[in-house]
C-alpha cells in the first residue's frame, strides 16, 4: 500500500486533512468541508530510487540492488520521497464582494508518493 501505516519508515503518503471549520474558514468556503492535503514522508534507500510508487516488486528491488551496488561508487545525492500523483481541489467560495466563485485548483491533493 502507499499510505504510511504503523512503523513503516519507507517513503509513503501521510494522510492529512484540513477541516475548514477547525481553521475558521467555513464561513467563506461553501464547499467542500475540508481539504485532504496529504504529504510524502519516509526514507528512500538507493535500491528503491526512482520507484514510481513504493510497491517495488522483488524483481525490481534485486535489479535496483545491482544498480545501486554498481552505482554506489558514483557521486550522487540521496533520493527523496516526493509526490508522484496529485489531483485537483474543487472549491466553491465567497470572494470579498460576496460573489460565489467555483474553481478547480490543479495538483492540490497528493494521491501517491515515490522515490525521486
Partner 1 sequence: IPRASDSQCPACKGPAMDLDHQRELLLDLAKRRILDKLRLSQRPTLNTPVSRAALRTALQRLHGPPQRTLPEADGEQEYEIISFADTGLSNINQTRLDFHFSSDRTASGMEIQQASLMFFVQIPPNTTWTLKLRILVVGLRDTNLTLATQHQLEVDASGWQRLFLGPEAQAACSQGHLTLELVAESQGGQSSIILGEAAHRPFVTAKVKVGGKHRLHRR
Rounded CA-CA distance 34/19 in Å is 4
The mark string for 4-43 relative to partner 1 (x by CB under 8 A, - otherwise) is: x----x------x-x----x-x-xx-x----x-x-x-xxx
Rounded CA-CA distance 66/69 in Å is 5
* 105 touches partner 1 by CB under 8 A: yes
Cβ proximity to partner 1: between 3 and 103 the closer is 103
**Cβ-contact 31, 91 below 8 angstroms:** yes
The mark string for 51-90 relative to partner 1 (x by CB under 8 A, - otherwise) is: --------------------------xx-xx------xxx
Cis peptide before 14 (omega within 30 of 0): no
**Cβ-contact 12, 2 below 8 angstroms:** yes
Cβ proximity to partner 1: between 22 and 62 the closer is 22
Amino acid at each position: 500500500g502507499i499510505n504510511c501505516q504503523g512503523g513503516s519508515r519507507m517513503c509513503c503518503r501521510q494522510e492529512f486533512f484540513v477541516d475548514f471549520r477547525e481553521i475558521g474558514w467555513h464561513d467563506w468556503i461553501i464547499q467542500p468541508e475540508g481539504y485532504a492535503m496529504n504529504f510524502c514522508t519516509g526514507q528512500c534507500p538507493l535500491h528503491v530510487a526512482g520507484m514510481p510508487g513504493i510497491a517495488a516488486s522483488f524483481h525490481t528491488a534485486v535489479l535496483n540492488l545491482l544498480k545501486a551496488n554498481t552505482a554506489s561508487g558514483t557521486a550522487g545525492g540521496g533520493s527523496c520521497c516526493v509526490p508522484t500523483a496529485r489531483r485537483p481541489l474543487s472549491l466553491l467560495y465567497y470572494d470579498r464582494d460576496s460573489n460565489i466563485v467555483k474553481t478547480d485548483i490543479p495538483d492540490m491533493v497528493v494521491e501517491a508518493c515515490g522515490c525521486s
